[in-house]
Amino acid sequence: MQFLENFSPELTIASPGRINFIGEHTDYNMGYVLPTAIGNKITFKFQRNGYDTQCNVYSIGYKGFSLDLKTISISDTEWENYVLGVLNEISKLTDKVKGFNCTIDSDLPLGSGLSSSAAMECGLAYGLNELFDLGLSKTTIVELSQRAEHSYVGTQCGIMDQFASVMSKEGNVILLNFWASYDQVSRESNNLLKTVYDQYHAKGFEVYSVSMDNNMTAWRDAIRFEEYTWIDVCELTYPESYAGSVYNITAIPTSFLIDKEGNIVAKNLNCKVLSTWLDNLL
């Protein structure tokens, strides 16, 4: 493509794939998944090109293509739809995206179960957010990337892959939590967890929470009422959810504690014992 001759990127984004420590194709009854980002990644290089709506995208290993932000539509070329879907979803939230050039290079094997599609969607969205100062939160990037895969790629995926690609943090101790606003035991467990989270969050303790609600209003109301401050996303498709089918979620809640190296070191800890573990790990 002609733009490559004078391409001088002003922003580089590395978007990781993911693996699951537990839960994938495993018969767990307790409802937790433990994904994390890996070193394999898709690398995006961006440059504003001075045009209002003309964009050029080149993927090493594929042919490049050009597009107009005013006339985004589904392509007959499958990989292009990951780009087009993200741009379509961003256009619903802001009109601040202008013309850009982008190159894409990947060492994530396609079809290997390492979530190259989520890395593609999230990396593009994250890069455009930075390039044009869109003001999108990480949670918004996760959610719009999932919607892009639903609407343009045609895969009715859950939110786990995008979540792991964007939200994973190096060197943290993590608790990944499935819950539901309608489940009183979940809410009681979360409320007890708040004290531990407040005490250890600044030291490197993260709680990633995924609601199995199918009522977004009830989920949001519960988060506001209970004042949960950790990251929380909602699949909105339970009991026919992607995560429910892939990860065999049959009961909530439970917990697995993951150390800084990504090892599962404990499960189903009460808050007193969890605090002891965190004192040793952080």
Catalytic annotation present for 161: yes
Helices (H), 208-264: 216-226, 242-246
**Catalytic position from the list 27, 52, 107, 161:** 161
Which residues form the catalytic set?
161
